[in-house]
Amino acid sequence: MKTLLILGAGTGGTMMANKMASTLDLKEWRIIIVDKDETHYYQPGFLFIPFGVYRPEDVVKPKRNLLPKQVEVVFGDLELIEPEKNKVTLKDKKTINYDYLVVATGSCIYPDETPGLREGWHQNIFDFYTPAGAAKLHDFLETWQGGRFVLNVTEMPIKCPVAPLEFMMLADWYFQKRGIRNKVELVYATPLPGAFTKPICSTMLAGILKTKNITVFPEFNIMEVDNSKQVIRSYDETEVPYDVLVSIPLNKGAEVIKNSGMGDSLDFIPTNKHTLQTDKWENVFIIGDAGNVPASKAGSVAHFMLDIVAENMLSHMKGQEMHASFDGHANCYIETGFNKAVLIDFNYDVEPLPGAFPLPGVGPFTLLGESVINHWGKLAFKWIYWNLLLKGRDIPTVHSHMSMSGKKPVPALKSQKI
Amino acid sequence: MVAPVLTTVKFDAEGFMVDKSQWSREIAEEIARQEGIETLTDAHWKIIDFCRKTGEQTGKAPTLRTITDGTGVSTKELFALYPKGPAKKVAKISGLGKPEGCV
């Protein structure tokens, strides 16, 4: 009997377990998945919790129910991965030997990496990347009477690079709904040179932010938080004052990657961006954002990686060449408030373009433009996530590789710098 | 006006050199001037040399963390040498592509 071991039962690990349980010959293979947490969180839902759209209980399900019966589920903390020995050790000293390993340990926030960030933590400084942070922020905002509301991204890359923008646009909507928008100043301080990472999309989103009176403070690289003066300070000594600071702290890979010496300077594992096999170990693959591939750290990306990882791993198991190639495909709904959203679809080489999605000329979704239907797409995604995505099933008409059909190139903007 | 040393150099939409093999120290000095750095000192060159070396080895521009880890220069000093976005600025001056941290 051979063993396929999957580390992490989040978005990537769960879909991988489901996919492999229906693909591998289970008379020959046993599949084990390890995770420390028995609860699965619908992470795209965290964004909505501070504004009362979702409650914390709306975004959770027991992990066991999302995994197939044939998969052995082990709940426990990982201590060490020894890829040279094909062995994983848990904190309780239980060891698991494997023939193939899929690392799906994702990325986490590390607030302790920024001096001063912990000082007013969950008092006037919040995060919304954890269920606890999002819930605390919701409680705080309900009675807040206004002031300077600053969102800061510590350092790129972060999980879901559009989340900060969505957060600010939802904040604009939320404070209007509460009737205190005129008492709130919304400021977005980012290390990026503009609103987003890709030029055409950045220009378009900058326009939307401007109409919503959200100030963007670009190229702000935070050095420290001084909560006694209520300012964040950058490496070039610029200060941005705040009354409430919402931080997206440094994102890094899991502790176990660091402890096992497998990662880069941010504890992401060096991985071939097309085959999704790790650079150093041929029987170790990556799904989701545990690797260092230059794609967005998002659930849709993990979904588009799934078939590629499965196909390449099966080829490798048979001693064949790996032919499947990941193109960096990402597909993100960006909430813009007032029941509208923008949809973007892009990959390693093609930045988000305007058009219709997924059917050319028909849609129903509008690419790189605001629409109400896009917003319903975003909310419907929660159903798709639990019922199709995690099960490793295809989403009708949306494929692993990005399609150019329905997209309109924008030559005029191509030369524009951000 | 394009500086004479840059007339035959191709840049992409975001200002990164397209063909790494065209790079020279004179070109680096000119790109630096356009990025607001009048004179490249030894301290600047230490970073550029490290980035060139990393670029040759990995084919990629190093991230800010790779630079600080690899050169021993602190983040604060790096920002003093290359204000605003050091990783991106050094990548441009070193004739490398956009650092992949910026996705």
Q: What is the CATH number of the domain that holds A162?
A: 3.50.50.60
What does pLDDT average to over chain A?
Answer: 94
Q: A306 lies in a domain?
A: yes
- Asked if residue A286 has pLDDT above 80, the reply is yes
| SS3 assignment, position A410 | coil
CB-nearest to A235 from B79, B100, B103 is B79
Secondary structure of A130-150 in HEC code, one letter for each residue: CHHHHHHHHHHHHHCCCEEEE
Residue B17, classified by CB atoms within 10 Å of its CB into exposed (0-12), middle (13-18) or buried (19+), is buried
Report if residue B102 sits inside a domain: no
Which amino acid appears at position A217 of this protein?
F
Residue B33 and residue B69 in contact, taking contact as beta carbons nearer than 8 Å: no
Distance from CA of B82 to the nearest CA of A (A): 10
Q: Do the beta carbons of residue B14 and residue A199 sit within 8 Å?
A: yes
> Choosing from B15, B95, B102, B103, which is the catalytic residue?
B102
- How large is the ipTM? 0.75
Same domain, A245 and A134: yes
Nearest CA in chain B to A267: B65
Question: Residue A337: is its pLDDT beyond 50?
Answer: yes
In a domain, B18, yes or no: yes
Q: Are residues A346 and A400 in the same domain?
A: yes
Polymer length of chain B: 103
Same domain, A98 and A119: no
Q: What is the pLDDT of residue A324?
A: 97
Does A386 share its domain with A344? Answer: yes
| pLDDT at residue A26, as a whole number | 97
Q: Measure the CA–CA gap between A373 and A371, rounded to whole angstroms.
A: 5
What's the rounded mean pLDDT across residues A214-237? 95
Looking at the structure, tell me whether residues A16 and A32 fall in a common domain. Answer: yes
Q: Which of B15, B69, B88 sits opposite A265 (nearest CB)?
A: B69
Q: What is the pLDDT at residue A57?
A: 96
Looking at the domain assignment, is residue A325 inside a domain?
no
Q: d(Cα B47, Cα B73) in Å, to the nearest integer? A: 8
Query: Which amino acid, one-letter code, is at A118?
Result: R
Domain coverage including residue A266:
2-106+254-317
**Pick from A35-44, A164-173, A207-216, A406-415: least confident:** A406-415
Catalytic, B51? Answer no
pLDDT at A36 over 70: yes
Mutate to test the interface with B, among A110, A155, A156 (most CBs of B within 10 A): A156
The model's pTM is: 0.91
Establish if B74 belongs to a structural domain.
yes
Q: What mean pLDDT do residues A132-160 have?
A: 96
Q: How many CB pairs under 8 A join A and B?
A: 52
Is residue A189 domain-shared with residue A241, that is, in the same domain?
yes
pLDDT grade for B101, boundaries at 50, 70 and 90: low
Residue found under tokens 């044939």: A70
**A125 shares its domain with A90:** no
Summary count for chain B: helices (H), strands (E): 5, 0
CA distance A239 to A231: 6
Q: Residue A360's pLDDT is what?
A: 87
| Domain carrying residue B77 | 4-93
The answer to whether residues A125 and A184 belong to one domain is yes
Q: Binning pLDDT at 50, 70 and 90, where does residue A130 land?
A: very high
Count how many domains chain A has.
Answer: 3
Domains: count for chain B: 1
- Convert the pLDDT of each residue in B54-93 to its tens digit: 999 888 899 888 899 899 999 999 999 998 889 889 999 9
Residues of B with CB under 8 A from a CB of A: 13-15, 63-66, 69, 75-76, 78-80, 83-85, 88, 100-103
Mean pLDDT confidence for B26-41: 95
Q: Give me the pLDDT at residue B64, please.
A: 86
- B103 in a domain, yes or no? no
Does the residue A323 lie in any domain? no
User: Is the residue at B98 inside a domain?
Assistant: no
* A57 and A75 co-located in one domain: yes
Residues A236 and A345 in one domain: no
Question: Tens digit of pLDDT for each residue in A64-93?
Answer: 999 999 999 999 999 999 999 999 999 999
Same structural domain, A278 and A243: no
Contact B23, B9 (CB under 8 A): no
